[in-house]
């Protein structure tokens, strides 16, 4: 008979928001609850992998293996499965997220009172920090939460103005952090521990200088982003397809690109083709599926990419950036018509 572990922590592995928010939980469980590492199971996933995981694991089966489940910056696309998890685990199911479609579905399906924090105006990083350390936002309102976390949250949740930062500044810091720590939980957990010591415990902390780290990450990120901008501009000029539309006739530019992208990679489109409203990226996977990312090119656009992907392709995401996974058959049909 296998031992029932204390925690299964499922986190979004594809960006800093998922990895850093998981690291905050890691530090809390290890250093505040004093559990041992062998009592924890961390599962970094994307949405495609999470769908595969769901096929073979019922909530009842999971409860035999784990006493608690934590989900951060990610959710199962099926609201009924999320509700079943909450019903099975009760208060031992903790969910921190900021993606509007599944949060809306949680109200409709009545699992919105699960423990955790859901807030579309901030990223999972600050949702987790609030849940564990700042329930009433007292420190947040005084800007006494870690600045690095506020910057990373501003990038992931498009909340630059709310956090008081310039978009390019946030973009550069996020890029530097992504390169430096490579989305590796083992590297990020040390940064989080230093931030907890500084901001929560209030202990002297001579080994960690947050301001210098942010400056270093900005400088590194700016160099990388400047290079990326030139590269992406050349890709769009040489391979961008401007004949695509959404099913509601909104115009889009499509590229096929395996690397990381964001709405800012379509800056050239915004400047030179103002009639184009969206940037769409198709990435081919080893299992023959296609991962699609869609962006609002105009930051002022009220079109909700996440709601669109949820309705049309069972995907999800934010208002300005979202995604989904397509089968090869779905992709071929879309490609023939050039309508996403």
Residue 260: the pLDDT is: 75
Residue 318: the pLDDT is: 82
Residue 28: the pLDDT is: 98
Residue 206: the pLDDT is: 63
pLDDT digit string, tens, across residues 32-49: 999 999 999 999 998 878
Q: What number is the average pLDDT over the span 182-202?
A: 95
Residue 340: the pLDDT is: 96
Confidence of residue 286 (pLDDT cuts 50, 70, 90): confident
Top-confidence range, 183-187, 299-303, 306-310, 320-324: 183-187
How many residues in the chain? 340
Q: Could you tell me if 21 and 98 are in contact, meaning their C-beta atoms sit under 8 angstroms apart?
A: no
- pLDDT exceeds cutoff 90 at 60: yes
Using DSSP bridges, classify how beta strands 241-245 and 251-256 pair: parallel, antiparallel or unpaired: antiparallel
Q: Could you tell me if 46 and 76 are in contact, meaning their C-beta atoms sit under 8 angstroms apart?
A: no
Of the candidates 60, 57, 61, 64, the residue with the CA atom closest to the CA atom of residue 3: 64
Q: Which residues contact 77 (CB under 8 A, 6 or more apart)?
A: 47, 50, 51, 102, 314, 315, 316
Q: What number is the average pLDDT over the span 220-228?
A: 94
Q: What number is the average pLDDT over the span 53-71?
A: 96
What does the alpha-carbon distance between residue 181 and residue 185 come to, in Å, rounded to a whole number?
A: 8
Q: What number is the average pLDDT over the span 237-260?
A: 92
Residue 207: the pLDDT is: 66
Q: What number is the average pLDDT over the span 81-95?
A: 97
Residue 34: the pLDDT is: 96
**How buried is residue 159: exposed, middle or buried, by Cβ count under 10 Å (0-12/13-18/19+)?**
buried
Residue 72: the pLDDT is: 98
Top-confidence range, 22-26, 96-100, 160-164: 22-26
Q: Where are the alpha helices (DSSP H) in 57-203?
A: 59-65, 79-89, 100-108, 124-133, 138-141, 147-156, 160-163, 167-181, 185-196
pLDDT, the chain, mean: 93
Q: What number is the average pLDDT over the span 321-337?
A: 94
Residue 302: the pLDDT is: 87
């Amino acid at each position: 008979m296998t031992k029932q572990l204390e925690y299964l922590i499922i986190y979004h592995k594809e960006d800093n928001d998922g990895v850093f928010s998981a690291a905050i939980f890691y530090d809390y469980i290890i250093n505040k609850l004093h559990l041992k590492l062998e009592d924890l199971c961390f599962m970094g996933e994307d949405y495609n992998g999470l769908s595969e995981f769901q096929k073979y694991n019922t909530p009842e089966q999971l409860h035999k293996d784990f006493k608690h489940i934590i989900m951060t910056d990610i959710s199962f696309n099926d609201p009924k499965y999320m509700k079943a998890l909450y019903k099975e685990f009760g208060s031992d199911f903790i969910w921190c997220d900021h993606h509007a479609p599944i949060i809306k579905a949680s109200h409709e399906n009545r699992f919105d009172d699960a423990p955790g924090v859901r807030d579309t105006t901030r990223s999972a990083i600050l949702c987790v920090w609030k849940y564990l350390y700042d329930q009433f936002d007292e420190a947040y309102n005084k800007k006494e939460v870690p600045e690095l976390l506020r910057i990373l949250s501003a990038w992931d949740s498009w909340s630059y103005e709310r956090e008081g930062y310039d978009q390019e500044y946030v973009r550069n810091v996020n890029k530097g952090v992504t390169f430096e720590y490579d989305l590796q939980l083992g590297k990020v957990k040390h940064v989080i521990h230093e931030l907890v010591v500084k901001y929560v415990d209030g202990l002297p902390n001579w080994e960690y200088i947050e301001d210098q780290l942010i400056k270093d990450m900005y400088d590194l990120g700016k160099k990388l982003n400047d290079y990326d901008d030139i590269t992406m501009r050349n890709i769009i000029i040489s391979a961008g397809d401007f004949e695509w539309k959404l099913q509601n006739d909104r115009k889009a530019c499509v590229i096929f690109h395996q690397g990381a992208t964001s709405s800012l990679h379509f800056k050239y489109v915004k400047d030179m083709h103002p009639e184009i409203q969206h940037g769409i990226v198709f990435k081919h996977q080893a299992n023959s599926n296609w991962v699609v990312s869609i962006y609002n090119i105009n930051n002022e656009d009220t079109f909700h990419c996440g709601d669109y992907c949820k309705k049309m392709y069972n995907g999800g995401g934010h208002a300005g950036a979202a995604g989904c996974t397509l089968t090869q058959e779905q992709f071929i049909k879309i490609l023939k018509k050039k309508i996403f």
